[in-house]
Amino acid sequence: MSPSISPASTATRRANPLHPPFAKGERGGLTSSWISLLVVLLVAGCASAPLREAPSAAPPAWLSEPAVWRIRQVVLIELGEMQFPVQGLLELDTAAGPVRLAAVDDFGVTLFRLTITHTDERVDFILPLVPRGAEVTRSVATSLRRIYLEPGLTASSEGGDWRVWYDEYSDAGGVPVPRLIGYKERGGASLTIRQENVKRVDK
pLDDT at 34: 38
Q: How far apart are CA 80 and CA 89, in angstroms?
A: 24
Chain segment 91-119, per-residue pLDDT in tens: 999 888 899 999 999 999 999 999 999 99
DSSP 23-53: GGGTTT---HHHHHHHHHHHHH----PPPPP
For 157, the 3-state DSSP assignment is: helix
Q: What is the CA radius of gyration of the chain?
A: 16
Under a CB-based contact definition with an 8 Å cutoff, are residues 130 and 136 in contact?
A: yes
pLDDT at 23: 39
For residue 66, pLDDT beyond 50:
yes
Under a CB-based contact definition with an 8 Å cutoff, are residues 71 and 197 in contact?
A: yes
For residue 135, pLDDT beyond 70:
yes
Q: How far apart are CA 3 and CA 132, in angstroms?
A: 21
pLDDT at 104: 97
Domains of the chain: 57-200 (2.50.20.10)
For residue 75, pLDDT beyond 80:
yes
For residue 195, pLDDT beyond 60:
yes
Under a CB-based contact definition with an 8 Å cutoff, are residues 71 and 63 in contact?
A: no
Q: What is the pTM of this model?
A: 0.71
**Mean pLDDT, rounded, for 62-67:** 85
What are the beta bridge partners of residue 199? 70
pLDDT at 65: 84
Average confidence score pLDDT of the chain? 76
Our separate counts of H helices and E strands in the chain read 3, 8
Of the chain, the percentage scoring pLDDT greater than 90 comes to 47
Q: How far apart are CA 110 and CA 20, in angstroms?
A: 8
Chain segment 9-48, per-residue pLDDT in tens: 333 334 444 544 333 344 444 333 433 434 333 333 333 3
- Which is nearest to 40 in space by CA: 107, 126, 113? 107
